[in-house]
Amino acid sequence: MGKTTYKRLKGSQSFRQRLLLATLSSTPIIIDEIRADDMIPGLLRHEMSLLRLFETVSDDCVVEVNETGTRLKYKPGIIMGGKNLVHSCALTRSMGYYLEPLLVLGLFGKKPLSIRLKGVTDDPKDLSVDTIRNATLHILKRFGVPSEGLDLKIEARGVAPEGGGEVLLTVPNVQSLTAVQWVEEGMVKKIRGWTFSARVSSDFEHSMRFAARGIFNNLLPDVHIFNDHKSGPAAGKSPGYGISLVAETTAGCYISADTAVSCGRTEETGEIDVERRERKPAEDTGVEIASWLLQEIEKGGVVDSTHQGLLFILCALCQQDVSKVRVGTLSNHGVETLRNLKEFLGVTFSFRPDPSTGTVILTCVGSGLINLSRKLS
């Protein structure tokens, strides 16, 4: 056993991706100066929670954090997966924050993953659980992930600040991911939406649905928005409502937009959000998300801007073959992802702007990551 060499990184940016890529590529990392100059230095609650989650699904990983939380030493273990796992997420971020890396980790586990997450299901910052179920899982299927065993069940809703939601995620294992040639966007053929309301009147949902339908009905006939009014224990601990819209194209692309509105109290940091003070009527939320979806469709690309990071990671993990994908405007998150992929997996993408549509075509050769821990049947 030689001495472990650690990759040294600085700062708190793209913490999730660094952990994920370090784990997949079995690279031990040290991150220094994590918010060293901030009022509240060190790792935040949800980042610590994410580390605990990585510990839950893997075996033999070593996490060392100094007293102030500004320095993290992480040595990845073997991704185990497994059944009946439970993780309580920190309530400062919603489950989308934890589910995105989990989906990729689960694929390369030793056993299929089945985990129950508890906490906040929907917030304005991260992907909502509806979007993950109805858009993100379809993106994974493109890369050869089998659809049986890939599922997200929403058992209880939870909005900030108290949470109380519960979801059950199951992810199958793959030997390796297949490279994709995914440049055809197609035309939007149908729009599906999911609204929810928890501990508030279901009128909020009707208003959002009515407003969103009002925009889409002029454009295409096949629009359906489902409602999901929860009460009792399934409604979680805080009042709120939200909407998630997904447009499906003829070429099998899924473009999404979502948000959630919490009618709860202020955050515990004592900061009163401006939007909390003056909450918009629910119709405005419906109109806003519908317009946002149309903007995402207008930008072009086979995924929306929130899924760019995931798309690039999946391309980079493919077998050693050329993947080619089309995206709209590169988001900051997408650019950050490309940098991290180059650093951890040594995968570089080549760009080719397509001026006629205003999109970018990215090409890369996958790193050929093979799931070594999975039992060969």
pLDDT at 267: 52
Q: Alpha helix locations (H) across the chain? A: 15-24, 45-57, 95-107, 129-131, 137-142, 203-216, 274-277, 282-299, 308-317, 332-345
Residue 322's pLDDT band, with cuts at 50, 70 and 90, is: very high
Please tell me whether residues 290 and 267 are part of one structural domain.
Answer: yes
Within a domain: residue 90?
A: no
Please tell me whether residues 192 and 290 are part of one structural domain.
Answer: yes
What is the largest distance, in Å, between two alpha-carbon atoms of the chain? Answer: 66
Please tell me whether residues 202 and 265 are part of one structural domain.
Answer: yes
Query: Global pTM?
Result: 0.94
pLDDT at 367: 95
* Model confidence at 298: pLDDT above 80: yes
For residue 143, the one-letter residue type is F
The residue among 278, 299, 320 that closes a domain is 299
pLDDT at 263: 87
Please tell me whether residues 277 and 311 are part of one structural domain.
Answer: no
The residue among 299, 322, 346 that closes a domain is 299
**β-bridge pairing 7-10 and 151-156:** unpaired
Q: What is the total count of domains within the chain?
A: 2
Within a domain: residue 163?
A: no
pLDDT at 274: 44
Q: What is the mean pLDDT of residues 351-360?
A: 93
* Model confidence at 1: pLDDT above 80: no
CA distance linking residue 372 with residue 358, whole number of Å: 40
Least Cα distance to 185 among 251, 137, 245 occurs for 251
Within a domain: residue 228?
A: yes
Q: What is the mean pLDDT of residues 352-364?
A: 94
pLDDT at 376: 58
Please tell me whether residues 325 and 273 are part of one structural domain.
Answer: no
At 186-220, the pLDDT tens digits run 999 999 999 999 999 999 999 999 999 999 999 99
Please tell me whether residues 321 and 271 are part of one structural domain.
Answer: no
Please tell me whether residues 198 and 291 are part of one structural domain.
Answer: yes
Within a domain: residue 250?
A: yes
Please tell me whether residues 285 and 347 are part of one structural domain.
Answer: no
Domain with residue 228: its CATH number is: 3.30.360.20
Please tell me whether residues 195 and 286 are part of one structural domain.
Answer: yes
Instruction: Classify the C-alpha dihedral 112-100-264-288 as positive or negative.
Output: negative
Residue 363's pLDDT band, with cuts at 50, 70 and 90, is: very high
Please tell me whether residues 250 and 350 are part of one structural domain.
Answer: no
Composition of the chain by helix, strand, coil, percent to 5: 30, 30, 40
CB 225 within 8 A of CB 212: yes
Within a domain: residue 325?
A: yes
Please tell me whether residues 292 and 314 are part of one structural domain.
Answer: no
Within a domain: residue 73?
A: no
At 117-138, the pLDDT tens digits run 999 999 999 999 999 999 999 9
Tell me the residue range of the domain where 338 lies.
304-365
Percent of the chain with pLDDT over 90: 90
The residue among 299, 328, 343 that closes a domain is 299
* Model confidence at 62: pLDDT above 90: yes
* Model confidence at 167: pLDDT above 80: yes
At 225-234, the pLDDT tens digits run 999 999 899 9
Domain with residue 311: its CATH number is: 3.30.1370
pLDDT at 279: 80
Mean pLDDT of all residues belonging to the chain: 92
CB 256 within 8 A of CB 240: no
Within a domain: residue 143?
A: no
Q: What is the mean pLDDT of residues 149-170?
A: 95
pLDDT at 54: 96
Q: Name the token pair of 364.
A: 């890369």
Within a domain: residue 76?
A: no
Please tell me whether residues 257 and 193 are part of one structural domain.
Answer: yes
